[in-house]
Structure 1
Amino acid sequence: MRTVAEHRAVVAALLPRSTASAALPLAQAAGRPLAADLVAGRALPAFDNSAMDGYAVRAQDVTSAAEDAPVALPVTADIPAGRTDTPPLEPGTAHRIMTGSPVPVGADAIVPVEDTEPLDEPDPTYAPRADAPPTTARAANAAPHRVAVRRAPAAGRHIRRAGSDVTPGTVVMEAGTTLGAAQLGLLSALGVPQATVVPPCKVLVLSTGSELVEPGRDLLPGQIHESNGIMLAAAAREAGAEAQQSHFVADDADAFLSVLRSADADLVITSGGVSMGAYEVVKDALTERGVEFVRVAMQPGKPQGAGIVDGTPVITLPGNPVSSLVSFEVFVRPALRAAMGFRDTERPRRRAILSESLTAPAGKTQFRRGVFDSDAGTVTTVGPPGSHHLRWMAASDCLLEIAADTTALDAGAEVTVWDLTA
């Protein structure tokens, strides 16, 4: 039998890294990986700005300021956020300033408002911009004529310098970075309206079996509701692909091939029809058409297949639902994400303490369903290991990976778990 590592390599080779790229508005680029390194075209912050609400001053003018001996300065300008005509600061004066507002030329420190005290009433006719008429709101919020500084700031205090976060020419994100909330915020702050990303692979999911019936329809004896299609299509979308689910195909090789040949996809994933028995439609249809069917030394998920059919990669997964989803996690998901340019292709691996004893089959890598307690650092298996126990797959948040040369583990043993939540 082929090892898990060997079959992972075979599947990965079917899906080379995509060279496609697309420029998308930021709102549409969420969740996609960058196609190339992103180089900043401007500084961030773009100008020196205040980190506090308070007063812009020359530090040397207030070096003697103290609680019992404040320094009084005339306030000669008001600088709200967004003001573009900031006047320079003259020696011996202060400008009232708001957080994020540009620091005036001549100022080298900001005194927080809590370290000051207004000394008189503001001029009710004062307007912060030369071209703006006074209003009641402006009068109510106008700067005082004079301010008392009660604590001396050091030069440079509470000033965010231009380029202190990002300097022009800096690579701020590497190719493959997934664009989440923080990354999109940075792009927007840098004035970038679009992101060049790797578009999603188009995946077609085919479920096979004459016994399959669409959910919502009544079952006849021997029929089951189809579950693998919706499950695998959802898994492909969660991996970052664009997935479509074809209506399940009956156990007819010609009908199966007809659906396969009409597929407009970068990858076709099938489930079912790959075991050793009769009426294995996928194996019958594809054995001599480019797909190699093998047995992999794992539980669940022993019957597998992979190959190229008419130029399209095809990965065939077993039909039992747990086998199918575990096989997707082990073989398809990492290869698919690598092909789409994601940097984080693998589920995170954690080390955990087993909360119970268990046994495993000799010579096979076993993947057991479990619940990981990150606070305690422990993992507990859920449900039997059988490949049809979908209820327990739905109740798990991790897979325990048990090596092929391990047949028993005692409670307290350290094991590797695949975190399915990240």
Structure 2
Amino acid sequence: MSASVCDAGHLMPVDDAIAQLLAQAPPPPATQVIGLSEALGRVVAEDVFSPLDLPSWDNSAMDGYALRAADVPAEGGYLLVAGRVAAGQSRQQSLEAGEAVRIFTGAPLPPGADSVVPQERCRVYAQRVWCPPVRLGEHVRKQGEELRRGATLISAGQRLRAQEIGLLASAGIPRVKVYRPLRVCLLSSGNELREPGETLVPGQIYNSNRHCLAALLRGWGVDVHDYGVMADQLAASRDALALASSECDLLLTSAGVSVGEEDHLKQAIEALGQVNFWRLAIQPGKPLAFGTVAGKPWLGLPGNPSAALITALVVLRPFLLRAQGMTQVLPTPVQVPAGFEWPHPNQRRQYLRARLDSDAHGQLRVTVHPQQSSAMLSAACWADGLAIVEREQRVVRDDPVAFLSFTEFL
């Protein structure tokens, strides 16, 4: 990552920048073993294998009658009801020819039974039940049908969602080895910044990036250490960065790395480590900085709120997820017909604040917000995702457009 990219006036493609960041991501944090109740959102540190078959025995998928399919005539017939088995119970006695057993969902099939008839298809007369024809194995969950003993339940590098936690629990696994949450230091720069609730004087603005970025980081499972606003003074910036680098795994800032004489952040970082600048072929968010502070990775995002949001989603997120030990870190766009015109090509890949709307025929189309300023967040609040317009691309209505739902970034 050489500063010459910026010095030469070239724009680095977004995918190239992400690839370089992923190649230089630090190894994941130390591991710890935790209970399932604490595991939501954590990244698994090793492959987890099933200690048993799922299901562990043949069981009924319905409330009904367990029987041998061969005992039911082609036109249906009567069988003797020889008992009942509820979930949590089992029957050791083998089913005899011409017998059926009342069975409930999840209960183990009695020995000798091979099929289940739902109760609503049966007619009961005292100790007999009439059953219609049944296919062999119908409504039976076979042992090992979902997973065999020794099969991989969860792969290393996978983030645990509710369904993965449920799968681990179904295999009887109470604890899992995961990586410790990544500690990220969040620093803001700018004497003009004030916190919401404070009174503004001319020239001051509220610090939206601090709260927006912190919310994103927490959603990505990061342990956020908020260091507040650094004063635009070289010594103050250097002291804040030195403290943050000693306590965190990664540093994140927004704004403050331009060439202005009041932007001391760049000088402070250079005194403690290294700064690399990129100019990315992305809109919004062209300026981006990457480097190290006392050996810890540092990323500097643009200061404009929408630019900071977009670059955090598109560029920062994959880097952070990889640094947490995740393997799959890139979102997957879908192709949707455009419900808009974009006649003027651009030198940068554009991430337009957009959403999916249905037309008069019920067809989903991508609609973009009319205001795409890098300084305004209202369009992102209106949107439910990002429409991607590639470099030098023109879009006419009904053209396929790549759309990234905001849910892909969570």
TM-score of the aligned structures, taking structure 1 as reference length: 0.84
Specify the alignment match of 1:354 in structure 2.
338
Distance 1:7 1:41 in 2: 42
Equivalent of residue 263 in structure 2, options 250, 262, 280: 280
- Report 1:323-338 matches (<5 A): 323-338=307-322
Q: Does residue 1:242 correspond to 2:242, yes or no?
A: no
Match of 1:8, SS state, is helix
Aligned ranges 1:235-274 → 2 under 5 Å = 235-263=216-244, 264-274=247-257
Matching residue of 1:96: 102
Distance in structure 2 (CA, Å) of the matches to 1:96 and 1:352: 51
What is the rounded CA distance, in whole Å, between the counterparts of 2:83 and 2:118 in structure 1? Answer: 16
Q: Secondary structure at the match of 1:421?
A: helix
Q: Is the 8 A contact 1:369 1:383 kept in 2?
A: no
Q: 1:292 to 1:25 in 2, by over 3 A?
A: same
The answer to whether structure 1 residue 297 and structure 2 residue 307 are counterparts is no
- CA shift digits 1:275-329 (9 cap, x unpaired): 2322112122123531223433333222221111111111011211112111212
Q: Map Cα deviations across residues 224-276 of structure 1 (whole Å, 9 max, x no partner).
A: 11111111111122223222322111101211121111122111100111123
One-letter code of the match for 1:174?
S
Q: Please point out which of 123, 129, 135 is paired with 1:148.
A: 129
Q: Secondary structure at the match of 2:191?
A: coil
| Deviation per residue, 1:7-58 (Å, 9 max, x gap) | 3234334423416333221121122232222211101111122222233334
**Helix, strand or coil: the match of 2:299?**
strand
Asked if structure 2 preserves the Cα contact closer than 8 Å seen for 1:111 and 1:149, the reply is no
Q: Deviations over 1:328-378 (max 9, x none)?
A: 122111111122233441232233333333355753333332223376342
Report the CA distance shift for 1:9/1:167 in structure 2 as closer, same or farther (over 3 A): closer
**Which residue number corresponds to residue 116 of structure 2?**
110
The Cα shift of 1:201 comes to 1.3
Q: Using the TM superposition, give the Cα deviation of residue 60 of structure 1 relative to its aligned residue in structure 2, in angstroms.
A: 4.1
From 48, 55, 70, the equivalent of 1:45 is: 55
Does the CA contact (< 8 Å) of 2:241 and 2:269 recur in 1? no
Q: Which residue of 1 aligns with 2:208?
A: 227
Shift of 1:92: 4.1
Question: Is the contact made by 1:52 and 1:110 (CA closer than 8 Å) also made in structure 2?
Answer: yes
Q: 1:45 to 1:6 in 2, by over 3 A?
A: closer
Does the Cα contact within 8 Å between 1:349 and 1:417 map onto a contact in 2? yes
Unpaired segments of 5 or more residues in structure 1? 121-145
Distance in 1, matches of 2:117 and 2:368, equals 59
Conserved? CA contact 1:283–1:293, under 8 Å: no
Give the 3-state SS of the residue equivalent to 1:246 in structure 2: strand
One-letter code of the match for 2:384? D
| Other-structure match for 1:341 | 325
CA distance 1:275–1:393, change in 2 (3 Å): farther
Deviates more, 1:358-367 or 1:247-256: 358-367
Q: Is the 8 A contact 2:91 2:110 kept in 1?
A: no
Which residue is equivalent to 2:368? 381
- Deviation string 1:128-186 (CA, Å, 9 cap, x unpaired) is xxxxxxxxxxxxxxxxxx11324243443333221122111112332233322222222
Find 1:318's aligned residue among 283, 302, 306: 302
2:29 touches 2:180 (CA, 8 Å); kept in 1?
no
Which amino acid counterpart does residue 421 of structure 1 have in structure 2? T
Rounded Cα–Cα distance in structure 1 between residues aligned with 2:84 and 2:356: 56
Asked if the contact 2:90/2:110 (under 8 Å) is kept, the reply is no
Change (3 A) 1:360 1:282: farther
Distance in 2 separating the partners of 1:351 and 1:65 = 51
**Aligned counterpart, 1:207:** 188
Instruction: Pick from 393, 405, 409 the counterpart of residue 419 of structure 1.
Output: 405
1:87: which partner in 2? 93
The residue type paired with residue 397 of structure 1 is D
Matched residue count: 392
Counterpart code for 2:46: A
Is 1:18 the counterpart of 2:25? The answer is no
Distance 1:119 1:346, change over 3 A: same
1:43–1:168 Cα contact (<8 Å) kept: yes
Q: Is the 8 A contact 1:55 1:96 kept in 2?
A: yes
Q: TM-score, normalised by structure 2?
A: 0.87
Q: How much is the aligned-residue C-alpha RMSD, in angstroms?
A: 2.5
Q: Distance in 2 between matches of 1:355 and 1:150?
A: 56
Q: Decide which of 18, 29, 33 is 2:43's aligned counterpart.
A: 33
> Structure 1 157/396 Cα, relative in aligned 2: closer, same or farther at 3 Å?
closer
Q: Which residue of 2 aligns with 1:131?
A: none
> Which of these residues, 73, 78, 81, is aligned with residue 71 of structure 1?
78
Name the aligned partner's letter for residue 8 of structure 1.
Answer: I
Q: Which residue of 1 aligns with 2:7?
A: none
The 1-side partners of 2:174 and 2:206 are apart by 46
Question: Which position in structure 2 is the counterpart of 1:157?
Answer: 138
Residues of 1 paired with 2:34 and 2:280: CA distance? 41
Structure-1 separation of matches of 2:82 and 2:395: 77
Give the 3-state SS of the residue equivalent to 1:22 in structure 2.
strand
Instruction: Write the letter of the residue equivalent to 1:420.
Output: F
Amino acid at match of 2:285: G
Gaps of 5+ in 2: 1-9
Aligned-pair identity (%) = 35
Q: Secondary structure at the match of 2:82?
A: strand
In structure 2, distance between residues paired with 1:79 and 1:411: 61
Aligned partner of 1:192: which letter?
I
